Structure formats: structure tokens, C-alpha cells
């Protein structure tokens, strides 16, 4: 019997989902997109309540998949900045479409229109 990976690992949809899986990656991408370049501590502050370990792991995975670029400056104190790669920028229209789909299919009482939701950010794109 064929297992899941054998059956789907060469599927483009599976590949895209595996690169972007996790509840934080889309939010991380959007925040980096908004700021163009962002330092680690500022990103962590914007993404509260994300844990340091979680953010570090998600950033490493995104960098490993060529979605974000990490620039390290050898200075004291250490300085690290993140930005989207050209490949990462191709995901922004998809993120916007996902928001649009969600807003059209969520019950009105379930939507969130304050600054913790990406809604206002996405409407401006």
C-alpha cells in the first residue's frame, strides 16, 4: 500500500503547503512584507505571543526554502535583518487571496477587525 508521502510528495500543492505549513509562517511573511526589512526583536515584538524558539525555527525554515533573506551584520551588539526574497514576494498575492476568501466565508460574528487581524493590512495592498 502506498503511503501519503509516496503518493503526494511530487504534487505542487503538497510542496507549497509543506514550505508554508504552520500557523505563524503566513503572519511572519506578511509582517516582513509590510516592513520590507525588519530586525528580529522588532518582528518578535509584533508577533506576540510567539515564543523565541518558534520564531527562530519558522525563520530558519523560511530562509532554507528561499522565501526570506537573512542578513547578519558582524557588530556588537549583533544585528540581524530579514527581508523577502523575490520568491517570497510571489506569495503576497496568495496571502491576500486567502484573506479575501476567509472574509467571504466566515460568519460576520467570527471576524476580527482590530489590529490583531491582518485585515486592515491586506485591504491596503
Any domain includes 31: yes
Any domain includes 124: no
Overall number of domains in the chain: 1
pTM: 0.82
Any domain includes 101: no
Render 73-106 in DSSP notation, one character per residue: E-SSS-EEEEEE-HHHHTTHHHHHHHHHHHHHHS
Q: What is the pLDDT of residues 84-110, one digit of tens each?
A: 999 999 999 998 898 888 888 887 766
Any domain includes 13: no
**Domain containing 26 — which CATH number?**
1.10.10.10
**Going along 20-91, which residue ranges are E strands?**
37-39, 68-73, 79-84
Q: What is the pLDDT of residues 22-53, one digit of tens each?
A: 889 999 999 999 999 999 999 999 999 999 99
- Note whether 104 and 119 are within 8 A (CB): no
Amino acid at each position: 500500500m502506498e503511503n501519503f508521502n509516496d503518493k503526494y510528495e511530487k504534487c505542487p500543492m503538497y510542496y507549497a503547503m509543506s514550505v508554508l505549513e504552520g500557523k505563524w509562517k503566513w503572519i511572519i511573511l506578511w509582517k516582513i512584507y509590510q516592513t520590507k526589512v525588519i530586525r528580529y526583536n522588532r518582528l518578535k515584538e509584533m508577533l506576540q505571543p510567539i515564543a523565541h524558539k518558534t520564531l527562530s525555527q519558522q525563520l530558519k525554515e523560511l530562509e532554507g526554502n528561499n522565501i526570506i533573506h537573512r542578513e547578519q551584520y558582524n557588530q556588537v551588539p549583533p544585528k540581524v535583518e530579514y527581508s523577502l526574497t523575490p520568491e517570497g514576494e510571489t506569495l503576497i498575492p496568495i496571502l491576500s487571496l486567502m484573506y479575501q476568501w476567509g472574509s467571504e466565508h466566515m460568519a460576520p460574528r467570527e471576524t476580527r477587525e482590530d489590529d490583531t487581524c491582518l485585515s486592515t493590512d491586506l485591504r491596503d495592498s
